[in-house]
Every structure is written in structure tokens, then in C-alpha cells.
Amino acid sequence: MGQISLSDFRGHWVLLFSHPADFTPVCTSEFVSLSRAHDKFKSLDCQLIAISVDSLYAHLGWIRAIRDHFGVTVAFPIVEDPSLVIGRAYGMISDSAPDAATMRSSFFVDPDGIIRATLCYPATIGRSVEEMLRVLAALQRVDQDDAVVPEGWHPGDQVLLPPSADQDSVLTSTDEDCWFHRFKPDSGTAKKR
């Protein structure tokens, strides 16, 4: 897909994620699922960008094998990093790693180019695409107004109000027994799954 730079995507969300190696079972399962969910990420204004230490030609052979065997087209860029410069700069390669395979790192980058969340799994455990979508939607939701999201939140679920941060407000409040854990209906515009 040619050369790219993260700055090319300013103004949009980016999910930059590493995978240990092409032609591996866990990575293949992730790429098939991410390809099938590509339109969901696009609907959240998010560009998927993969990165690994494998070469361009390994990437090309692998995405062709994925297309031919699973019937899905990988429609997002896969960055080659054979020199490990990007992987080391982003901490994707463990200092104690016996080889150059990256961990399963995911970086959620906001439209201003700020990394807002990271997830990291070992090479042996695949990521949940649904969780990646949920984290992205949650980040977008909390940016909309004065709300935070609870455990397991999905678009359309109730959100939480941030608690008061000063002692007088807390001690004089008679409205809430549980002033630090107050739900409200979600009036935000985050898209439903």
C-alpha cells in the first residue's frame, strides 16, 4: 500500500497493532477477524495499521494465503519493520525476547496523535476484536462530555458521572447515598455495535 506515516492519519483514530510473525496460527486468526470487522472500525473513524518484523514479500504472500483460504481481503496496511526500529521504539519487543517476534501490542491513537490506551498480550494469546472495538468506542464516548464508562460498558449502556473532587461538595450533598458511583443514561453519540 506504499509508504505511510502516522501523521498521515491526523484527524482520525488509529489502531496500531503489532503481530509476532506472518504465517502463524494466532496472528492469522486475528487478521481474519480484524478483516471481517474492518467496516466496524471504519464506522468509528479508525484506521487499522499492523506492524511486524517480517518483510513486505512475506506480508504479501501471507495476505494472499488468507484471501485464498479464508475468503477475506486484508484491506489495511501492514508495515514491515525488519530492522526492529519501530518495534523497539514502541516497546513492542521485550528486552528478554529470545527472538525478534513482537508481542501483541495495540496502541489506540486519537485524532491529535496521542496514544490514549494500550493493550499487550503475549505471542501465545490472541486479542479480542470485540474488546478492541469496545475500547475504541469507550475512548470516543468519554471525550464527548463529562462522563466515564463502567466495567464492561458498550455503546448505549449507562455511563457514570465523575465524582465531585472537593470535600465541601461531597459532605454537603444530600442527593446521593453513593456520591462516587452515580449512573446516568447515555445521551452520547457513540455508535452502537
- Catalytic residue annotation: 27
| Sign of torsion over alpha carbons 152, 14, 109, 56 | positive
Which among 77, 71, 88 has a CA at the least distance from the CA of 15? 77
d(C-alpha 144, C-alpha 167), whole Å: 26
Helices 56-70 and 25-36 sit at what angle, rounded to 10 degrees?
70
Per the structure block, which three cell numbers stand in for 157? 449502556
Asked if 108 and 139 touch (Cβ cutoff 8 Å), the reply is: yes
CA atoms within 13 A on the CB side of 161: 12
User: How many C-beta atoms lie closer than 10 Å to residue 180's C-beta?
Assistant: 11
DSSP string, 132-182: HHHHHHHHHHHTTSS-B--TT--TTS-EEEPPP-SHHHHHH--S-TTTTSE
